[in-house]
Amino acid sequence: MMRHSAAHVMAEAVLSIFPGTKFGIGPAIENGFYYDFELPRSLNPDDLPLIESRMAEIIASDTPFIKEVIDKKEARQLFAEQPYKLELIDEIPDEKVSLFRQGSFVDLCRGPHVDTTGKIGAFKLISIAGAYWRGDEHHPMLQRIYGVAFDTKEALAKHLEELDEAAKRDHRKLGRELDLFSIHEEAGPGLVHWHPKGAVIRRVIEDFWKDEHVKRGYDIVYTPHIAKLDLWRTSGHWEFYRDYLYTPMEIEGQEYIVKPMNCLGHILMYKTKLHSYRELPIRYAELGTVYRYERSGVLHGLSRVRGFTQDDAHIFCRFDQLENEVVGVLDLALFMVDTFGFTDYQLLLSTRPEKYAGTIQVWDEATKTLSQALSRLNLDYTVDPGEGVFYGPKIDIKFKDTLGRGWQGPTIQIDFNLPQRFDVTYVGEDGREHSVAMVHRTVLGSMERFLASLIEHYGGAFPMWLAPVQVVVIPVADRNLDYAYKLEAELKSEGVRIKVDARSERMNLKIRQAQLDKVPYMLVVGDNEVASSTVSVRLRSGEHVSSLLLESFKETLRRIITTKVRDLKL
Ligand SMILES: [Zn+2]
Ligand SMILES: [Zn+2]
């Protein structure tokens, strides 16, 4: 109530500064509020303090919020100059509409509100964004001002501090500063270009991912990026998810689309021959790049994109193997999440929605299988009733980052739909064909979103095994360069990602640069180090560790890299 009241006060303040302002909507949101305006000019951040001070005056005046109920006809006259409000009035089913007044300002509103403007607590306007009227790109673009509001100054200060920390860790900002990736208007929004340093992180993750999957009985496969539309008609994707699919292209009189998921390729491969019950489970894993249409308004850095690489796999098994398979996936998923340093997570079991494929009996059995698998691993979970996808129940793992924000992580999904639509079977002990149990699963989500979570979790200071550059050698003087290059060659041959900063800059400046690049180790080498075959080690935190013999430094690096430990103690 207080936050929504602040939105009204902001609208009044904006109107007093920009007469003729047209108003969209101004709801309360988590931690604050926003209001959408059509204004005579573009706002810039310098406008916010002025709006804030007008708001402070209105709040100090302690003006009452007064509710009025009037006829629609009267309301249309009152808001004759407000096209967006007129549109809203037309949609109200009742003949009467309600208004709220504070002083001379009046807004169309159901309420409720606080009694007087003085009841609004501590607030701050934090950002300006463009927002299409009703979120639709065919409608005019309005200007949205976001604010936050809390009961006390202390609570506001705490929240602003958290926002500040989140802004410092924003993966779009760090992605640019650390030269990890870019997205180009010329190439299209939501399409990610991985720069060499971002690509190093991705390659390390992919190598680790592939090795771990092979160890756990998966076969790595590759499937094409486009496929005939008919395939997606058979699967039901064309019918159910058409809004997310790109327009078909025609090739030799046949329609094709870029793939939105990898499942169908894996099904076609499975079906190239008959499978006996003894061969199951079959697990196909693919780092498969898929494309889905997302409105430009919802795209966000790496976390909401139009093209992304899923760390995907499909398991084809017998129903009596399903529980073991789910246990295996859960174990792998938690191992992955933990290895990357996310120690706090939440498990959700989503059950049958209103519209569903298959019978209630198979749903109940599959849901029971999922919960038994969770119990076998002693995992606590929350049931999310009715939140399953229409084709089967699922388990989602949401992990939390350093700031306690949740990220969509692994999902394990049972599918009753595709095996039936594509007639995916195996030959049982009885010599007859039986429908397989099919599991879709991902343990990281997508490479793009996972990198976003890693960047924000670590604030760009990646653990040693993921860092694009692990060691920078900083020679004190030019005469120490030979020794620096010798170190580089030796460590490189051990697989360490190392660089020599040979620029003729001051040593402190080079140290500063390596810290900004968040390189885990700096080796400062001067005459003493050359003479004694040692290295003087500094951490990106600024801490100077000690002088170490080159051999013992190498030994430590090996240990840190192979065990993927996250702390950098030497
Ligand atoms: Zn209101
Ligand atoms: Zn799938």
CA of 113 to the centre of ligand 1 (A): 6
Question: d(Cα 427, Cα 432) in Å, to the nearest integer?
Answer: 5
- Print pLDDT tens along the chain (570 aa): 999 999 999 999 999 999 999 999 999 999 999 999 999 999 999 999 999 999 999 999 999 999 999 999 999 999 999 999 999 999 999 899 999 999 999 999 998 999 999 999 999 999 999 999 998 888 999 999 999 999 999 999 999 999 999 999 999 999 999 999 999 999 999 999 999 999 999 999 999 999 999 999 999 999 999 999 999 999 988 988 899 999 999 999 999 999 999 999 999 999 999 999 999 999 999 999 999 999 888 899 999 999 999 999 999 999 999 999 999 999 999 999 999 999 999 999 999 998 888 888 989 999 999 999 999 999 999 999 988 888 899 999 999 998 888 999 999 999 988 999 999 999 999 999 999 999 999 999 999 999 999 999 999 999 999 999 999 999 999 999 999 999 999 999 989 999 999 998 999 999 999 999 999 999 999 999 999 989 999 999 888 877 888 888 888 888 888 887 655 555
Question: d(Cα 347, Cα 423) in Å, to the nearest integer?
Answer: 32
User: Which active-site residues does the annotation give?
Assistant: 263, 292, 310, 312, 314, 394, 440
CA distances from 150 to 58, 74, 160 (A): 17, 36, 11
Q: Nearest 10 degrees: CA dihedral of 261, 264, 266, 268?
A: -160
pTM of the model: 0.85
**430-469 pLDDT per residue, tens:** 999 999 999 999 999 999 999 999 999 999 999 999 999 9
CA of 117 to the centre of ligand 1 (A): 12
CA of 260 to the centre of ligand 2 (A): 10
Could you say which ligand is closest to the alpha carbon of residue 262?
2
Angle between helix axes 447-458 and 196-215 (nearest 10 degrees) is 110
Contact call for residues 451 and 498 (beta carbons, < 8 A): no
In this structure, which residues have their CB less than 5 angstroms from ion ligand 2? 263, 440
CA of 412 to the centre of ligand 2 (A): 10
**Residue 356 has what pLDDT?**
85
CA of 223 to the centre of ligand 2 (A): 13
**471-506 pLDDT per residue, tens:** 999 999 999 999 999 999 999 998 999 999 999 899
Tally of CB atoms within 10 A around 22: 19
Could you say which ligand is closest to the alpha carbon of residue 112?
1
